[in-house]
Amino acid sequence: MDFKARYDEYVNETNTALDGIITTGEGAGSSIFNAMKYSVAAGGKRFRPVLALAVCELLDGNKKDVMPFACAIELIHTYSLIHDDLPAMDNDDYRRGMPTNHKVFGEAMAILAGDALLNKAYELMISHITQNNSYSQSYTNAMNIIAFNAGAEGMIRGQTIDIESEGITISQDTLKLMHSCKTGALIKSPVLAAASICGASREQYECLEKYAQAIGLAFQIKDDIMDVKGSLEQMGKPVGSDAVANKSTYVTLYGIDTALELLNQSVSTAEESLACFGDKAFFLRELACFIRDRDN
């Protein structure tokens, strides 16, 4: 199966699983489910679940065991986007080609929808662990990896640096730290959680960790480049928002040519780090190129 077909298959499998996770309800308070479903169903690339499923397949794991964790990460990612778009944060009107959650449901409901998605993510993982008697360290490790990377040492720290950095020029080191937390942490999560669940050896785990780090960086550099070179139609959200908010990015700190060079270097590092898997890692190699070549 070629890269695109396999990517689409992973996305379809993820969407089917996600469909069954957020229930609807009736009566008082049930509007929260609509607000949650709205942003989850809005789509997106499903890049993080795809990563988890691809690592699972690479390690001959069982997709049924990885899927709840893959979906949990997508729910955490979706909550972070809802909150990031709020007026108190980036104040964006469009996301995934649609009006942002708070534009449709109001600010209070958007905050609650994000909170509810975060809680649902942990419920999903712990339910899988308890219902399937799969209480083994590899599952609790996976949950720990996900919680740590989404929390104050990971994505939330990155968002904090982002907020503190608005309107000032930050150092290249701070920029790197900000992005390894804000974007990189939630890209590392699916790779390492799936590696843990599927019993990666120490050597395999280390290769995958290096890979995840490199693609996380590539993902962010590309995002910064697209904010300058992309279009609303491609991105599903307005471009140029970094410049409007006076944010330091790989483009503002390094210039477009060096940013492109750094992007290519990260993709090469990602590809090289998969050497221990040989041809079997073809999909993950292509995925690194997909990050470089994507236009949304």
Residue ranges that bind ligand GRG, judged by CB under 6 A: 44-45, 47, 80-81, 83-84, 89, 96, 155-156, 159, 182-183, 220, 223
Which CB atom, from 152 or from 276, has the smaller least distance to ligand GRG? 152
Which CB atom, from 32 or from 161, has the smaller least distance to ligand GRG? 161
In a 3-state reduction of DSSP, which class is residue 261?
Answer: helix
Whole-number Å distance between alpha carbons of 22 and 250: 37
The residue whose Cβ lies closest to ligand GRG is: 44
| Shortest Å, Cβ 286 to ligand GRG | 17
Which CB atom, from 183 or from 273, has the smaller least distance to ligand GRG? 183
| Shortest Å, Cβ 120 to ligand GRG | 16
Whole-number Å distance between alpha carbons of 21 and 123: 10
| Shortest Å, Cβ 48 to ligand GRG | 7
Is 62 in contact with 139 (CB distance < 8 Å)? no
| Shortest Å, Cβ 260 to ligand GRG | 17
| Shortest Å, Cβ 107 to ligand GRG | 14
Which CB atom, from 77 or from 285, has the smaller least distance to ligand GRG? 77
User: Would you list the DSSP string of 75-91?
Assistant: HHHHHHHHHHTSTTTT-
| Shortest Å, Cβ 31 to ligand GRG | 22
| Residue 275 DSSP symbol | G
Which CB atom, from 30 or from 293, has the smaller least distance to ligand GRG? 293
Is 104 in contact with 140 (CB distance < 8 Å)? no
Token pair recorded at residue 194: 């799936």
| Residue 47 DSSP symbol | H
Which CB atom, from 81 or from 208, has the smaller least distance to ligand GRG? 81
Which CB atom, from 59 or from 78, has the smaller least distance to ligand GRG? 78
| Shortest Å, Cβ 84 to ligand GRG | 4
Whole-number Å distance between alpha carbons of 171 and 58: 38
Q: Could you tell me where the DSSP H helices lie in the chain? A: 3-19, 31-41, 47-58, 63-84, 101-105, 107-131, 137-150, 155-165, 172-179, 185-197, 202-229, 232-235, 241-244, 250-254, 256-272, 282-293
